[in-house]
Amino acid sequence: MKYILQIHTGSWRDTADRPEEMIRKIREIASRIRVEQVIIGWNTDPAVYEKTGEALHAAGIRMILWLPVFSEIDKIAKPDEALDIFGKRITTPEQVGKSFTFACPTSPNNVRIAEEIYDKYFSGCGFDGVFLDRIRSQSFVSGVPGVLSCGCGRCRKAFLQRGVDIDEVGKLYREKGDSFFDMAAWPLNGQFRLKNGMAQRFFEAKEEMVAGAVTEICRYFREKGMTVGLDLFAPAVSRFVGQRYTLITQNADFIKPMLYRRTDAPAGIGYEYSMFEKAAPGARGFCKPAMDRAFLESQLEAMGEVACEKYPGIELNYDAELVRTDTDYIRESLAAIRDCGFEGAALSWNIMQVPNAHIEAVYRFEQEQD
């Protein structure tokens, strides 16, 4: 298979790994498996990228900028913040951190910020593409207000144009409580459908609005001749955050869904499920699948209908509390990806801190294919 590596360089002005260390790590891995692209995080120090880009290009590997769009940016720009449909600011629990404040998806200002940040800090760094992260609304990590967003004046109009009156949606939620989220169907190899028509329509309209902004940003970068990739929630939970795969990918070259079955933090699938359960414990028709191989296969099947390139993202990082991965898990994930007919995978989310044994597991998996 072919692989994408990810390197998280810390945020904007944090101290990143030295380019020499990154280059050594990438070369070492690329000598064992076929590395096509390396996604490198957002750091305003151009020195992080200059030598790295030269070394990658010499090895025929593309260097892609990992760029957050609707979150994280408040540290270097002034985005228009997202509100919930009751017109209130959305608060995120302290332990999750400030980086989970989200910006409004329909604000032209916010779209421009993503483009301007690239132009200002990264356009001279030799990137071949961008990988758009946080292209979504907040999730149940911020409770019900997180998913029932954005309710700013602009989004209110955008919802109305799509036949959704958010005041009515808010009223409906106040009346029904948890049963607002009753499911008519929750197929794992597709998206859930809510029982209530208005509630369902709200989520569909949000998907259209998020996709509108994302396709515009994609166009901006593709017109520069760059590759554009998207970081997406797993299909089973993507509707909560406004991501419909077939819509959001219209202008994209590749997607990397976060098929994280062992991550007990935002974007981890089991974690997002448990946040939903916590926010709406009385919702009916909710099924909580085991995070097993069959579940992974259902997510791979759900990705299948998208036309662009697909690199299922598997977490290789390890943390005793938050990311309990192991070599069997990595092997099982890669085998499922291969058996479902995918040609590549993304090794997430920071190769500089992945335990050696986990990288070795990928080498062994590849050797067995020969």
Interface segment toward Zn ion; rule CB under 5 A; list 11-19, 21-29, 146-154, 298-306: 146-154
Angle (CA) 87-243-149 rounded to 5° is 5
Task: Name the minimum Å distance from CB 64 to Zn ion.
Answer: 28
- Contact criterion met (CB below 8 Å) for 248 and 217: no
Interface segment toward Zn ion; rule CB under 5 A; list 69-77, 90-98, 144-152, 185-193: 144-152
Which amino acid makes up residue 72?
E
97 or 153, CB closer to Zn ion? Answer: 153
Binds Zn ion by CB under 5 A, chosen from 23, 155, 337, 354:
155
Using CB under 5 A as the binding rule, whether residue 188 contacts Zn ion is answered as no
Q: What is the DSSP string of 100-133?
A: G-BB-TT-HHHHHHHHHHIIIIITTTT-SEEEEE
Task: Name the minimum Å distance from CB 255 to Zn ion.
Answer: 24
90 or 152, CB closer to Zn ion? Answer: 152
Using CB under 5 A as the binding rule, whether residue 209 contacts Zn ion is answered as no
152 or 241, CB closer to Zn ion? Answer: 152
Using CB under 5 A as the binding rule, whether residue 164 contacts Zn ion is answered as no
End-to-end CA distance of the chain: 11
- CA–CA gap between residue 333 and residue 331 (Å, rounded): 5
Which amino acid makes up residue 20?
E
> How many Å is the maximal CA-CA distance in the chain?
61
Q: What is the size of the binding site for Zn ion (CB under 5 A)?
A: 4
- Contact criterion met (CB below 8 Å) for 27 and 39: no
74 or 297, CB closer to Zn ion? Answer: 74
Task: Name the minimum Å distance from CB 154 to Zn ion.
Answer: 5
- CA–CA gap between residue 33 and residue 255 (Å, rounded): 20
Cβ contacts of residue 276 below 8 Å, gap of 6+?
140, 181, 237, 240, 283, 286
> Locate tokens 């002034």: which residue?
78
Using CB under 5 A as the binding rule, whether residue 210 contacts Zn ion is answered as no
84 or 315, CB closer to Zn ion? Answer: 84
Task: Name the minimum Å distance from CB 108 to Zn ion.
Answer: 11
Binds Zn ion by CB under 5 A, chosen from 48, 63, 69, 152:
152
Using CB under 5 A as the binding rule, whether residue 359 contacts Zn ion is answered as no
Task: Name the minimum Å distance from CB 191 to Zn ion.
Answer: 22
Using CB under 5 A as the binding rule, whether residue 234 contacts Zn ion is answered as no
Binding mask 87-106 for Zn ion (x = CB under 5 A): -----------------x--
Neighbours of 23 (CB within 10 A): 18
Beta bridge pairs of residue 1: none
- CA–CA gap between residue 240 and residue 238 (Å, rounded): 5
Using CB under 5 A as the binding rule, whether residue 150 contacts Zn ion is answered as yes
Binding interface with Zn ion (CB under 5 A)? 104, 150, 152, 155
